[in-house]
Amino acid sequence: MLGTKVAIKSGSGNKIIIKKYMMTDELKQKMKEGRERAREAKLNANPTVIPDDKVLIEKSFLEEIRKTMDELKADNAMLKQVADKSRMSDFYTRHKDKMPEQYKVRMIDDKIILGWKMIKDDVYIDGPRVIENQIIMLVLETGESKELSYRDWVRLYETSICSKVSSRTDEQGNLIVKLERNSDKKVVEIDVRFVN
């Protein structure tokens, strides 16, 4: 039974019939279904028009895509940091259309380092101590060379962001990029192995 009738007498002798319903699970379900049908009918009567250049997707799916993209960006950044620079140079030589447009170059004394070479690399253990005698030779943009201990070089160099102007391959097959420093618009050519 869906409800019961309750009769109440008023002071004037007239009877007022009040229909008082007791909610049952069956009635609740029917009311819920009715509300859903009304909502669907309203949506069907006024459908949302989606332009051809847009797509309607669920919010959870969009969040999943964003999470995946963030993970891929982090993985890509990590791989670029740990990658062997000469292999990256070879890759960019073969795939010139995929070269990045922004590069980081190293500098010492506000001069761009065009290349470097380890000229002394003596590392050995003497009892409980590790002895490191490492010297690196730097070639600067002015054409001068400078020798530093490896430890000083790692501590002192700074980086600067440059924009790619153009690229070419030299006689030995190395990829050379022409870069413009963003801070002062100075232009240098550098082997791609010595950037980033």
Dist CA 153 CA 23 (whole Å): 81
- At residue 135, the pLDDT reads 92
Sign of the torsion formed by the C-alpha atoms of 67, 70, 72 and 75: negative
Q: CA distances (Å), 101 to each of 18, 23, 164, 190, in order?
A: 80, 69, 5, 14
Cα separation values, 54 from 44, 49, 50, 65, 68, Å:
20, 10, 7, 16, 21
Half-sphere exposure for 59 (CA within 13 Å, toward CB): 0
pLDDT at 3: 46
Neighbours of 114 (CB within 10 A): 19
pLDDT (tens place) for every residue of the chain, 196 residues total: 444 444 444 455 555 444 444 556 776 777 788 778 877 776 666 566 677 777 777 888 888 889 989 998 888 888 877 777 777 777 777 776 665 678 888 999 888 898 889 999 888 898 899 888 899 999 998 889 999 998 888 888 998 888 888 888 888 888 888 888 888 888 888 888 888 7
Query: Helix, strand, coil % (nearest 5) of the chain?
Result: 35, 40, 25
CA 5, 11, 12, 13 torsion-angle sign: positive
**How is the chain split into domains, by residue range?**
85-194
